[in-house]
Amino acid sequence: MTAGATGTVLRVRDLAVGVRDTDLVLVDAFDIARGERVGLIGESGSGKSLTALAVMGLLDEGLQVSGSVRLAGVDHDLVGADDRRMARVRGRHVAMVFQEPMTALNPTMRVGDQVAETMLLHGSRGSRSAARSAAVDLLRQVHIPDPEQAARAYPHQLSGGQRQRVVIAIALANDPALLVCDEPTTALDVTVQAQVLDVLVSGAAARGAALLFITHDLAVVATVCQRVLVMYGGHVVEAGTVQDVFTRPRHPYTAGLLAASDLDAVDDRGRLRTIAGTVPAAGHFPDGCVFRNRCPNAQDDCAVAPPWTGPHQASGYACHHPVPAVAEVGRG
Amino acid sequence: MAEPTTDVLPAVSVRDVTRTYRRPRPAPFRPAPLVAALRGVSLDVAPGQRFGIVGESGSGKSTLLRIIAALERPTSGTVHVEGNDITALPERRLRGLRQRLQLVFQDPMGSLDPRMRVGDIVAEPLVAQGHAAPRDRVAELLQAVGLSADAANRYPHQFSGGQRQRISIARALAPRPHILVADEPVSALDVSVRAQVLNLVADLVDELSLTLVFVSHDLSVVRRVCDTVAVMHAGEVVETGSTSQVYDDPQHDYTKRLVSSIPTLRRALAGVTARDLAAGAAGEVA
């Protein structure tokens, strides 16, 4: 437990992901504390999934990664670690829940065996039979009805919500310090989503696992997370507690996202608020402030990259012309 | 609820529609099990109405939509579109329907031919119906959905998800339909793009006096776009009413569960947790 003593589970510093001469992600710094639930939000193409994959060491070979990602309980940097070392980290110290459970599960293997396999691979259960009964236990904890029966089922025999519960059971199997969830409920129905989110939050809480929760659904982030990082163009443009960022956004991008996702608020012409333009393709973001070509507040000085304004990396924003601190963005 | 009269014909009138599918036989000599996707659905959509159909996967909403668009036949029951019984018509006589009623699908990449130029895609419904496809009309349609006229020479993959959905909408509007049927048109889009497309749909429905049938799993989106909503569950319509009434004061047990499991910013900031939503989804009073 290197960083564990201080209560920090994940420490990311100067993380850069790029192809050839194009930077895709440039994250200065963020930390996640033990048991903390942190949301990572932004539109498609803003770099949130790349950031998560970089943390997991799952990036495509063609991408260059630099910087530092340290995880509690792991004595080496995750950036640059080879596959053999990462295989010992993934599934044990950090686990991931993806959007599409059908592709995350092995279609030719019974789900109980898949849960048991995770524990056997990392040696957290000594024998096959111990791992099997632990697997049934885990399936029960994620509220799969009749877990003994379900453990013998193949993934295609389960519904989408049940499959995602199995993936969560696999992720929780070795009591990881960090759970990375990339749009885990986007493919699910809303009533199923509610139950899966509940299982995820309570499962992580029971183990003291921290959550890094990626989604474009602000309402889900607000329901699940305590803190939030807003990403755009590969940069963290705003960070803070959910309460602060979602009620008093300072970065115009955050304010735009909030306004666009509020289906109750309309402008004076009775139309939903939108963010002008679209997310540029990778490598086509403007220099200086990445948001300036879509920003309502942009001025000439935005051609210079704005510095971070705020007491520390966990709270603040990067903008020359922020939304006034007192402004309410049209919601109670 | 009477038979369609000559006075005010409902744009779409669905009567006692059922649809059963046959599953594959479990064993060579056992009968194939039947699955009832729709169990007696009746509803009326008045001209100019914005009618939402909400339900989760497996509720039968997509089957109903495919039957309304005559892409599929009901096992029993009738569907009238502007007074014509489309369930009785053979495929070759559906041309009139295709002119009156057009569809927009969820996944624009799956419904736009990747090898056709956007101009040809948008003109295709016109060509299929034997009209010459004037370039002016294509340019006009592209402009109506907020794309530039030179988009006509490009291919679908050169556009973002939101732009592709605009192309689908332009194509649907090409034959000047009276009724626009949209199947989850914004579910695959980011929130900011979602707002743009919803604004566009609302504008076009207003300007062209269209009747809108909007299918979605997301009650909060339907509430924004539609004035009336039917909630479907297990192949039946369990509740119909004005969207605000159904959203704010749901009557049916299932609608209550649906509404209380929707995460919203407002409720989350007021302290509603995932546990509370799950309790709502399970039907426990939160």
Strands A235-241 and A308-312: unpaired
Which band of pLDDT confidence, cut at 50, 70 and 90, is reported for residue B286? very low
Which band of pLDDT confidence, cut at 50, 70 and 90, is reported for residue B133? low
Residue with tokens 């920003």: A295
Q: How far apart are CA B213 and CA B232, in angstroms?
A: 14
**Dihedral-angle region of residue B24 (phi above 0 means left; psi in -120 to 50 means alpha; beta otherwise):** beta
Determine whether the interchain pair A197/B257 forms a contact, defined as Cβ–Cβ distance below 8 Å.
no
Q: What is the pLDDT of residues A148-181, one digit of tens each?
A: 999 999 999 998 889 999 999 999 999 999 999 9
Interfacial B residues in 45-64 facing A (CB < 8 Å): 56-57
* B277 chain-A contacts, CB cut-off 8 A: 194, 197-198, 223
- The pTM of the full predicted model, rounded to 2 decimals, is 0.86
Residue with tokens 């049934």: A136
Close Cβ partners of A52 (under 8 Å, ≥ 6 residues apart): A40, A96, A180, A182, A212, A214
DSSP state of A61: T
Residue A290 has pLDDT above 60, yes or no: yes
How many percent of chain A have pLDDT more than 70? 96
Q: Does the beta carbon of B272 lie under 8 angstroms from any beta carbon of chain A?
A: yes
Q: How far apart are CA A42 and CA A183, in angstroms?
A: 12
Q: Does the beta carbon of A242 lie under 8 angstroms from any beta carbon of chain B?
A: yes
Q: What is the pLDDT of residues B45-95, one digit of tens each?
A: 999 999 999 998 889 998 999 999 999 999 999 999 999 999 988 888 888
- Residue A118 tokens, joined: 């995770």
Q: Does the beta carbon of B163 lie under 8 angstroms from any beta carbon of chain A?
A: yes
- Residue A301 tokens, joined: 């000085």
Residue B165 has pLDDT above 50, yes or no: yes
CB A173 within 8 A of CB A114: no
* B274 chain-A contacts, CB cut-off 8 A: 194, 197-198, 200-202, 223-224
Determine whether the interchain pair A257/B192 forms a contact, defined as Cβ–Cβ distance below 8 Å.
yes
* A201 chain-B contacts, CB cut-off 8 A: 273-275
Smallest CA–CA distance, residue A83 to chain B, in Å, is 34
Residue B252 has pLDDT above 90, yes or no: yes
Determine whether the interchain pair B269/A191 forms a contact, defined as Cβ–Cβ distance below 8 Å.
no
Start-to-end CA span in chain A (Å):
43
CB A202 within 8 A of CB A126: no
CB A15 within 8 A of CB A235: no
Q: How far apart are CA A321 and CA B214, in angstroms?
A: 40
Sequence spans of domains, chain A: 3-225, 231-318
Determine whether the interchain pair A242/B257 forms a contact, defined as Cβ–Cβ distance below 8 Å.
no
Gyration radius from chain B CA atoms: 20
How high is the pLDDT of residue A331?
45
Using CB atoms, pick whichever of B162, B198, B280 lies closest to residue A272.
Answer: B198
How high is the pLDDT of residue A20?
85
Residue B96 has pLDDT above 70, yes or no: yes
CB B65 within 8 A of CB B183: yes
Q: What is the pLDDT of residues A44-60, one digit of tens each?
A: 888 998 999 999 888 88
Determine whether the interchain pair B217/A44 forms a contact, defined as Cβ–Cβ distance below 8 Å.
no
Which band of pLDDT confidence, cut at 50, 70 and 90, is reported for residue A99? confident
Which band of pLDDT confidence, cut at 50, 70 and 90, is reported for residue A3? very low
Q: Which residues pair with A32 in a beta bridge?
A: A10
- Residue A241 tokens, joined: 């507690």
* Residue B246 burial class via C-beta count within 10 angstroms: exposed 0-12, middle 13-18, buried 19 and up: buried
Close Cβ partners of A312 (under 8 Å, ≥ 6 residues apart): none
Determine whether the interchain pair B194/A260 forms a contact, defined as Cβ–Cβ distance below 8 Å.
yes
CATH number corresponding to A3-225: 3.40.50.300
Q: Does the beta carbon of B196 lie under 8 angstroms from any beta carbon of chain A?
A: yes
Smallest CA–CA distance, residue A258 to chain B, in Å, is 9
CB A31 within 8 A of CB A314: yes
Q: What is the dihedral of CA A82, A87, A88, A94, to 10 degrees?
A: 110
